[in-house]
Amino acid sequence: MLTMNYTYRIYPNVVQQTELRSWLETCRGVYNYALRELKDWIASRKCSIDRCSLEKEYIIPADEPFPSYHRQQNNLPKAKKQFPHLGKVHSQVLQTTIRRLHDTWEVFQKRGYGFPRFKKFGQFKSFVFPQFTDNPINGFIIKLPKIGEVPIKLHRPIPNGFKVKQVRVLLRVRGTQWYVVVTIESDISVPDVPVPVHVRAIGIDLGLERFLTASDGSFQERPQFFKSMQRKLKLLQRRAARKQKGSQNWQKAQVEVARMHHRIANRRKDFHLKTAHQLCDRAQTIFAEDLNVKGLTRGMLRKDCVDAAFGQFLSLTEWVCWKRGVYFAKVNPNGTSQTCPNCLATVSKGLEVREHHCPECGYRTHRDRAAAEMVLDRGLENVVSQGLWGTETACQVGLSGVYDLDKWRGAGILNREVGKPAL
């Protein structure tokens, strides 16, 4: 079973927006009430056996079962009789809200931290329609239960053989833009990890001087998305700070700031996706460094690292490689820039040294390219040691963005260290 998510922009009218906002607040109330029950049950079991708390006492019977997902879900029909406004929301939407709480609770139990928190006003920004019998998208209209037909910007069609499983309605940019995340599924079976091939394999090194340097000598300059818009963003933030908090002008100014952040994030993600597709066009096996992304965001170059978003790029590249049938793997990044890829000798150099020159074998090249070649060597060594070499890759399944690549294929080609830019 193959499952994917497609995100589309929708344009509900004023009445529909009011209804959607009311649903979000109702779901927030149900979430907080269910969390309150959960916390009260836990607090009633905290006191010692031979004494009670002097501050407060939870009067919950000892034989009262844990408020599980099924127990709280079965209490929803009773709650609708006591609170009639719950009946305005689709029943399955409220059930998925309870499911959302218990998913968070289960994750907390596994990792030991991150206890679920109460949602303040405006913090609950999405709800889910978990089931559809028929396709809700017809042309440029999506039909949502109890909401009606809403215009949708269908910038890419649903692939043939896929059906809509669920739809998540999402509110962004401080409540000014509505989106739907459409989950589609198909019976197509695709291997999770394609078999690596021994031809057209490259290693990539990520950095701040150059965003990406490949082992074949090509490189991609780093667009500074945040820094290029920082001056305008600072002006908008200064205007918002001078407004009276809570006024209409203050809200308008906050929306302008949110739109600017949204635009920066969209431009960065678009660049990452196009770069990942370009890599897949040039190689059938790609190796990258397994970077400590959190550690990079805590150093003195944290602003540049956050602006580059290496973690998002690696995640999107892995997804694009899977979709395009390209093998992708991460290798140990320790010492890739301090090792000569030609003779494997240790060549220590600081960050200010941008050229690799091995005193043992005399190999000379750019520092980032030497690191990329070392990444490729480590990736090939890991693949050979695991016995994964083959000549086949996973077949493509006709996904949107796999075949229709001509619109961007001629733009933004990676540069070369030697000679003219590739055409």
pLDDT at 415: 55
pLDDT at 193: 60
pLDDT tens for the chain, residues 1 to 423: 788 899 999 999 999 999 999 999 999 999 999 999 999 888 877 766 556 655 655 667 778 889 999 999 999 999 999 999 999 999 999 999 999 999 999 999 999 999 999 999 989 999 999 999 899 999 899 999 999 999 999 999 998 889 999 999 999 999 999 999 999 998 877 666 666 666 688 999 998 889 999 988 888 998 999 989 999 999 999 999 999 999 999 999 999 999 999 999 999 999 999 999 999 998 889 999 998 888 888 888 889 999 999 999 999 999 999 888 889 999 988 888 888 888 888 888 888 888 888 888 888 888 889 889 999 988 888 887 776 655 444 444 445 444 443 333 333 435 545 433 333
| Global confidence as pTM | 0.82
Closest C-alpha among 237, 189, 203 to residue 394: 189
Q: How do 285-289 and 327-331 pair as beta strands?
A: parallel
> How far from 319 is each of 141, 154, 266, 361, CA to CA, in Å?
28, 21, 17, 39
pLDDT at 287: 92
pLDDT at 225: 92
pLDDT at 392: 44
The DSSP call for residue 64 is P
> How far from 187 is each of 1, 71, 184, 418, CA to CA, in Å?
5, 33, 11, 47
The DSSP call for residue 145 is T
End-to-end alpha carbon distance in the chain:
40
pLDDT at 399: 52
Closest C-alpha among 71, 99, 94 to residue 23: 94
Q: Which residues pair with 197 in a beta bridge?
A: 390
- The count of C-alpha atoms lying within 13 angstroms of the C-alpha of 409, restricted to the half-sphere facing its C-beta, is 9
Share of the chain above pLDDT 90, in %: 55
